[in-house]
Structure 1
Amino acid sequence: MNQIISTHNLSKRYGNTYRVKDVNLAVCEGDIYGFLGPNGAGKSTTLKMILGLTRPTDGEVRIFGKDLGANRRLILSETGSLIESPSYYGHLTGLENMRVIQRLKDVPDKNVWEALKIVRLENQKDKKVEQYSLGMKQRLGIAMGLLSFPKLLILDEPTNGLDPAGIGEIRELIKSLPERYEMTVLISSHLLSEIEQMATTVGIINDGLLMYQGSMEDLKNKNRPTISLKTQNNKLAYQLLFDKGFSPKEREDALVFEYLTNKQVALANKSLVEANIDVLRIEEHKMNLESIFLDITGKGHSL
């Protein structure tokens, strides 16, 4: 599949501190790529480098197969974006702000009306933006990004300031873009639940390092359950089960097994009982995605 965005060892250093270090993103055509990480992890800095708003210390960016440095104008003509917070003229109406971007991008009137309709601002278009709520300003920023219906749309925390209903609407909008407009979407967020519901591919960044990159399906497959088994004599139980082909791990006061079928659990239990080793407890543990995130990054803080 064609790579719409690829970065090679992309890095940004301020003084002696790396904000982003050796990031290799691979965003394929038609993806909704969820760029996930805590606040301050390096998401916005990475997106700014991809758009040419910040110069990398090291590394390179290729978009649509072209080098960003040599083809920035052409690349940006086919790219829409919303980075950090929307840019707008508060004394102008929503429609007037859209007209400014329309002139810059040289797109037809129908694009303006369709973009406003998509983000549900068609009835607020004649209101001054300084009177907009935070959520309305966010939706206007997304409409500006959509105005040219680009091949690539980059959204940095697009659900900021939205109420639950608004978050749901923007989520459904983003999910529809690849099929409806043949658009590839790169979306950053610190909200794992949002990325989980939208993204087809996910990249996890923390402390400027890309800790994981792969399909959302593969990430969820890391969510396989483990079986915890506690006996009256775990050391003896460990040896017995190991000899029978099991691969338990000793953790605290229990033996932990990965990927056991129900039949295998029953066999382990039967083997222990027949050896007169009392089984005190059998439990299934399943990690949620946040636990997987913490496991991948090795960090003790949540998103």
Structure 2
Amino acid sequence: MKEIVSTYNLSKLYGDAYSVKDLSLSVGEGEIYGFLGPNGAGKTTTLKMILGLTKPTDGVVTVFGKELGKNRQFILNRTGSLIESPSYYGHLTGLENMRVVQRLRDLPDRNVEEVLRIVRLEKHKDKKVDGYSLGMKQRLGIAMALVSFPTLLILDEPTNGLDPAGMGEIRELIKSLPQRYEMTVLISSHLLSEIEQIATSVGIINNGMMLFQGKLEDLTKEKHTAIAIKTRDNVLARELLVKAGYSPVLNMDFLTFEKLTDEQVAQVNKILVTGNIDVLRIEERKKNLESIFLELTGREGSL
């Protein structure tokens, strides 16, 4: 797969502390890459370095196969972004704000009309932005990032300030972009459920360092499926299984096992039945992205 964004050993040092350290990131063409981590993990700093808004202490940024330092204007002409919070003129209307971006980027009227419709602001385009709700301002920022229909779209926490219905609409919009407009999307978030629903690849960052990078399905299936067994006597069941070479963990009303094959599950069941221990339930438990994130970072899910 062709790489649209890549970084190599990217680092940013503030004083004597690293905000980002030796981060190597790879975003393939047509992907929705979920850049996931708790607040303060280094996500926004990384995105700013990719856009040339912050100068790296060390490392290389390549976008569209070209090094950022030597090709910044070429890269930015093909990139749309929303970083941290939307920038706008509050005394102007939504449409007037869009016209400013339109003139700066020399875009046709139809682009403005389409993105206002996409983000559901067409009925509010003549209202001053100072009178917009937080969610409307966020949608205006997304419209500004989309108006050139860029090859690469970078969104930093794009669902901030949106109600559940608005979050769902933006989520569906982002999911449609690669196929509908041939865009590659790099989206950061601390909302694990959002990334789980839209991303094709993920990068998990904490304390400025990449903990995992790869396809979402690889993350969710790799050593993250557990078998839970409930018996009438879990303590005795555990003793029998430990003697047979298994390592179950007593968790609430269940014994849980990591990485059991189908054959091993059948063997465990046979050991219990032979030992006159009633097996009440056998469950396969696939951990969601939030559970995996907690394991990797040791922090709570949505922070």
Query: Fold-level match, TM-score > 0.5?
Result: yes
Letter in 1 for 2:67: D
Structure 2 counterpart of 1:112: 112
CA pair 277-70 structure 1, distance change in 2 beyond 3 A: same
Structure 1 counterpart of 2:37: 37
Structure 2 counterpart of 1:226: 227
Letter in 1 for 2:40: G
- Written as runs of structure 1 = structure 2, the 5 A alignment for 1:1-303 is 1-222=1-222, 223-227=224-228, 230-232=234-236, 234-235=238-239, 237-239=241-243, 241-242=244-245, 248-249=246-247, 251=249, 256-260=256-260, 264-274=264-274, 276=275, 278=277, 284=283, 285-297=285-297, 299-303=298-302
Which is worse superposed, 218-227 or 63-72? 218-227
Q: Is the 8 A contact 2:95 2:126 kept in 1?
A: yes
Q: Deviation of residue 233 (structure 1)?
A: 6.8
- Structure 2 CA distance, aligned partners of 1:300 and 1:177? 32
- Structure 1 CA distance, aligned partners of 2:28 and 2:262? 38
TM-score, structure 2 normalization: 0.90
CA pair 2-231 structure 1, distance change in 2 beyond 3 A: same
- Structure 2 CA distance, aligned partners of 1:11 and 1:27? 18
- Structure 1 CA distance, aligned partners of 2:299 and 2:95? 46
Structure 2 counterpart of 1:245: none
Q: Deviation of residue 14 (structure 1)?
A: 0.4
CA pair 217-286 structure 1, distance change in 2 beyond 3 A: closer
CA pair 123-263 structure 1, distance change in 2 beyond 3 A: same
Structure 2 unaligned regions, length at least 5: none
CA pair 270-113 structure 1, distance change in 2 beyond 3 A: same
| Aligned Cα root-mean-square deviation (Å) | 2.1
* Structure 1 residue matching 2:115: 3-state secondary structure: helix
Q: Deviation of residue 269 (structure 1)?
A: 2.9
- Structure 2 CA distance, aligned partners of 1:52 and 1:292? 32
* Structure 2 residue matching 1:302: 3-state secondary structure: coil
Q: Deviation of residue 227 (structure 1)?
A: 3.5
Q: Deviation of residue 123 (structure 1)?
A: 1.4
* Structure 2 residue matching 1:127: 3-state secondary structure: coil
- Structure 2 CA distance, aligned partners of 1:265 and 1:146? 50
- Structure 2 CA distance, aligned partners of 1:162 and 1:294? 25
Q: How many equivalent pairs are there?
A: 295
Structure 1 unaligned regions, length at least 5: 243-247
Q: Is the 8 A contact 1:225 1:286 kept in 2?
A: yes
Q: Deviation of residue 112 (structure 1)?
A: 1.0
- Structure 2 CA distance, aligned partners of 1:177 and 1:288? 25
Q: Is the 8 A contact 1:32 1:198 kept in 2?
A: yes
* Structure 2 residue matching 1:149: 3-state secondary structure: coil
CA pair 75-260 structure 1, distance change in 2 beyond 3 A: same
Letter in 1 for 2:236: Q
- Structure 2 CA distance, aligned partners of 1:233 and 1:132? 61
Q: Is the 8 A contact 1:237 1:277 kept in 2?
A: no
- Structure 1 CA distance, aligned partners of 2:73 and 2:67? 11
CA pair 144-287 structure 1, distance change in 2 beyond 3 A: same
Give me the identity figure in percent.
65
- Structure 1 CA distance, aligned partners of 2:110 and 2:237? 74
